[in-house]
Amino acid sequence: MKPLEPLALPPMNLKELADVLGLSQTTVSRALNGYPEVRESTRQRVVRTAELHNYRPNIRAMGLATGKAMTIGHIIPMYFKNEVVNPVFGEFIAGASQTYQANGYELLLTMAEDQNEEETYRNIVAKGSVDGVIVHSPRTNDFRVALLKEMELPFVIHGRVNESTLDYCWVDVNNRHAFQRATQLLIDLGHQRIALVNGPEILNFAWLRRQGYLEAMSCAARVIDDALMTSAELSEANGYRAAQAMLAHADPPTAFLVSSYVAALGIRRAVSQAGLVMGEDVSVIIHDDELSFFHNSDAFPQFTATQSSVKLAGMRAAEMLLKLIDNPQLSPMNELLEANLTLGASTGPLKQKPASRSS
Amino acid sequence: MKPLEPLALPPMNLKELADVLGLSQTTVSRALNGYPEVRESTRQRVVRTAELHNYRPNIRAMGLATGKAMTIGHIIPMYFKNEVVNPVFGEFIAGASQTYQANGYELLLTMAEDQNEEETYRNIVAKGSVDGVIVHSPRTNDFRVALLKEMELPFVIHGRVNESTLDYCWVDVNNRHAFQRATQLLIDLGHQRIALVNGPEILNFAWLRRQGYLEAMSCAARVIDDALMTSAELSEANGYRAAQAMLAHADPPTAFLVSSYVAALGIRRAVSQAGLVMGEDVSVIIHDDELSFFHNSDAFPQFTATQSSVKLAGMRAAEMLLKLIDNPQLSPMNELLEANLTLGASTGPLKQKPASRSS
DNA sequence: GTGAAAGCGCTAACAA
DNA sequence: TTGTTAGCGCTTTCAC
């Protein structure tokens, strides 16, 4: 019945460990925490014994004694009761978690409904269970910036509340540049008419992606045609509808810039329905943040797996926050990460115009 | 600059609150925790003042004093370093979180890499930072069951390690019954040849889904044809390939039972490429656990939004765990939840055979 | 019905 | 270099 021998002894606390060693708690604590005033031989002995007994300090007690919680809060907004959790969070948190573990921090997860979002934040600081928080899903001019500053709780935002303010910490993916680069790539491939299938541009990230697209297009003196830009929720159906309408245009696009994988699937449907071949008649570039959620994305064979930019953003945001906690009067830090782009079904220069259009 | 008036006073601790009230910490604590030996008028006064000052007990100190952490751990396995976080976790955790909040518990999230999974569990109990854990992604005969029992840490598994053992707590979606029901529905609609596009059947959930399918098929004396069953990673491409092969069969299926939304998109592509019409020539039923991840699923208009079974599972698992923590010698509890099914592109009885097959 | 005091597991002055 | 002591914010005997 007991498959595992108790080679792992029952958990032990500092006092017991000190007793075993015949030392005081203080010395043991100092040895374990790398204080300089401990004799090296003592330290060795302490560390070895601690390992032997699998001693792990109780983080809560440590927190009580030091005034630090050694815990970071991630507060995820749930705007609609039945709304689904955005998979981006998982990815971001996986990255952040790595950083915390490496630094002895724990991760406290809280879901906040919008009716009582402010209260959630106030609670979390009143309870004193975290040293800082990561703010997810920023809105334009988000009230949480002022709230957190007032409460003097260190925080880092994943994203930005607008493009100009820099008086708080954030980590973001450079959506503008990503789409500027992607558009440029399509231009270099010889495309004249490039379509943009974007997410809702009320959201900061989508708006910035559009700016990048426009920048490259106007820089290369390409015609900017409203009929070739859509902004809507990123679903398969919306991708399909958008592409279908665009391909029916008198002067249809030869390339699509897409903000999500599912939308790209819809585009592909419209393309083949129009009798065109992806990779020959039409190019598609997909922003990778979403693509990486699909384990197996061989629907677009040219996909090359890279570490998700979102996960990286999580790591960087965590590092930034820990730095800020160590040194609260630091001036605001910001970081703009380059995104990974996926070239879906397009490897070389293409014919300028669709080959044919049957049915 | 300061948009919020300090109607919320700075956080206060028990001692300060007691001083303000002119009472001892003991009495205040008792009043707040609903102990009977406090005069009702005193309690009223205490509660009101606490509210006024937005007093929140420090959970860590409370934990130290009571020996309980008031925290539940969720440990998410990361089998491959660069693997993407399964969106199911987010959904499940959102449900669990609701339960925790309602009961004064906090949620500690830990990512565990497979090389040091056992150590992660041992650490978490040695640190004493949780009162119990939820185990995610169970494998067949998962070693964690024995490990957690040995460490005497209360736990609930999301899923099962096999179908017979009942000597531990779990909450699962009834995958077998879901697919049995779905198959039956298709049979009732008059279908003779029903295809199954399943996930990898080494995973417990997929294996059970297949059992449900087989049950209904053999019960209705339908032919069980290996050519009409696939088991592979649930991607768009795999769905496409599977459906394409099946539709090229001499006696093709008129209905598909699909384990995921993206795979269903692939099936749809194959169907229309074969010149068939979904909802007329072919029916599709999708298991909803995955479907719910897509905010906008109008690719299949008959989709009706329901609360995700996964989220519900999270709530139930959390409730179960809290109960177990309160009463550790309770005999193992189990719960099998009914899944929501989505009827995609099929509303009524269909023609028995595909109408035509062009190109 | 209320309070004083000890203690949860740890750290950090201050002494030695 | 090591130990003594007090205290982090709370609960909980045990007295009153």
Instruction: Judge if the beta carbon of B9 is closer than 7 A to nucleic acid strand D.
Output: no
Residue A7 has pLDDT above 70, yes or no: no
> Which residue in B58, B147, B297 is closest to A4 by CB distance?
B147
A109 three-class SS: strand
Residues of A in contact with B305 (CB under 8 A): 82
Tell me: the pLDDT tens digits for B10-42?
678 899 999 999 999 999 999 999 888 889 889
* Confidence class for position B66, pLDDT limits 50, 70, 90: very high
Selection from A241, A232, A231, A281 nearest residue A265 by Cα: A241
Tell me, what amino acid is at A175?
A: N
Residues A104 and A133: beta-carbon distance below 8 Å = no
Q: Which of A28-42, A83-97, B133-147, B238-252 has the lowest mean pLDDT?
A: A83-97
- Listed in sequence order, the residues at least 6 apart from A262 whose beta carbon sits closer than 8 Å to its beta carbon are A234, A235, A236, A239, A290, B262, B265, B294
Q: How far is A181 from chain B (nearest CA, A)?
A: 25
Comparing B71-174+310-339 with B175-308, is the CATH topology the same? yes
* Predicted local confidence at residue B166, as pLDDT: 83
3-state secondary structure string across B28-61:
HHHHHCCCCCCCHHHHHHHHHHHHHCCCCCCHHH
- Which of B248, B246, B234, B249 shows the shortest CA–CA distance to B286? B234
Measured CA to CA, the distance from residue A285 to residue A60 in angstroms comes to: 48
CB contact under 8 Å between A56 and B292, yes or no, is: no
pLDDT at site B288: 53
Is there a contact between B238 and B232 (Cβ–Cβ < 8 Å)? yes
Predicted confidence (pLDDT) at residue A288 exceeds the cutoff of 60: no
DSSP H/E element including A181 = helix A175-188
Six-digit token pair at A289? Answer: 């943040």
Question: Can you state the percent helix, strand and coil of chain A, rounding each to 5?
Answer: 45, 15, 40
Nearest nt by C1' to A64 Cα = D8
* CATH superfamily of this structure's domain B71-174+310-339: Response regulator (3.40.50.2300)
Instruction: Among B1, B9, B82, B106, pick the best mutation site for testing chain A contact (most A Cβ within 10 A).
Output: B106
CB B324 within 8 Å of CB B131: no
CB burial of residue A349 (10 Å; 0-12, 13-18, 19+): exposed
Crossing angle (nearest 10°) for helices A143-151 and A117-126: 20
Quick one: average pLDDT of A154-181? 89
Which candidate, A208, A179, A195, A193, places its Cα nearest to that of A287? A179
Interatomic CA–C1' length for residue A71 and nucleotide C14, angstroms: 30
| pLDDT of amino acid B61 | 93
CA angle, corner A77, sides to A239 and B136, nearest 5? 85
| Mean pLDDT, range B51-80, rounded to an integer | 90
The CA distance from B190 to the nearest CA of chain A, in Å, is: 29
What are B341's strand-pairing partners?
B287
Cβ distance of B90 and A94 shorter than 8 Å: no
Find the CB nearest B109 among A107, A262, A292.
A107
A·B CB contacts under 8 A: 190
Chain segment A19-58, per-residue pLDDT in tens: 999 999 999 999 999 888 889 889 999 999 999 898 999 9
Cβ of A84 within 8 Å of Cβ of B125? The answer is no
- Taking the CA of residue A77 and the nearest CA in chain B, the distance in Å comes to 10
State the nearest Cα–Cα gap between B15 and chain A, in angstroms.
Answer: 14
A218 Cα to chain B: minimum distance (Å): 33
* Strand pairing class (B194-198; B229-231): parallel
Beta carbons of B126 and A236 less than 8 Å apart: no
pLDDT at B340 over 60: yes
A287 touches A337 (CB < 8 A): no
pLDDT surpasses 90 at A299:
no
What are the domain boundaries of chain B? 71-174+310-339, 175-308
**pLDDT surpasses 50 at A296:** no
B33 CA – C11 C1', rounded, Å: 29
Contact yes or no for B235 and A295 at CB 8 A: yes
Determine, for residues B86 and A90 on separate chains, whether the beta-carbon distance falls below 8 Å. yes
Give me the pLDDT at residue A307, please: 52
Whether this prediction's pTM lies above 0.75 is answered by: yes
Partners of B303 in the β-ladder: none
At residue A111 the predicted structure's pLDDT band, cuts being 50, 70 and 90, is very high
Q: Specify the pLDDT at position B139.
A: 80
Q: What is the pLDDT of residues A189-213, one digit of tens each?
A: 888 999 999 988 877 788 889 999 9
pLDDT at B111: 92
Q: What is the mean pLDDT of residues B202-216?
A: 89
C-alpha distances (whole Å) from B188 to each of B182, B223, B255, B344, B352 are: 10, 15, 12, 16, 12
B125 → chain A, closest CA residue: A11
What tokens appear for A27 in the block?
């010395």
Nucleotide nearest to A68 (CA to C1'): D8
B68 touches strand D (CB under 7 A): no
Please tell us whether the domain made up of A175-308 is placed in CATH 3.40.50.2300: yes
CB contact under 8 A, A109 and B110: no
Please give the average per-residue pLDDT across B47-68, as a whole number.
91
For B109, which of A93, A143, A237 is closest by C-beta distance? A93
Output the DSSP codes for A213-264: HHHHHHHTT----GGGEEE----HHHHHHHHHHHHTSSS--SEEEES-HHHH
Pick the range with the lowest mean pLDDT from A23-32, A45-54, A314-323, B136-145: B136-145
Mean pLDDT of all residues in A262-275: 86
Q: Which residue is closest, via its CA, to the C1' of D2? A: A27
* Band of residue B174 on the pLDDT scale cut at 50, 70, 90: confident
Tell me the average pLDDT across A305-314. 72
What CA–CA distance (Å, rounded) separates A184 from A193? 12
Q: Mean pLDDT over residues A159-170, rounded?
A: 86
CB contact under 8 A, A294 and B85: no
Q: Is the CB of B33 under 7 A from strand D?
A: yes
- Cβ-Cβ contacts under 8 Å, B2 against chain A: 146, 150
Of B83, B140, B151, nearest in space to B111 by CA:
B83
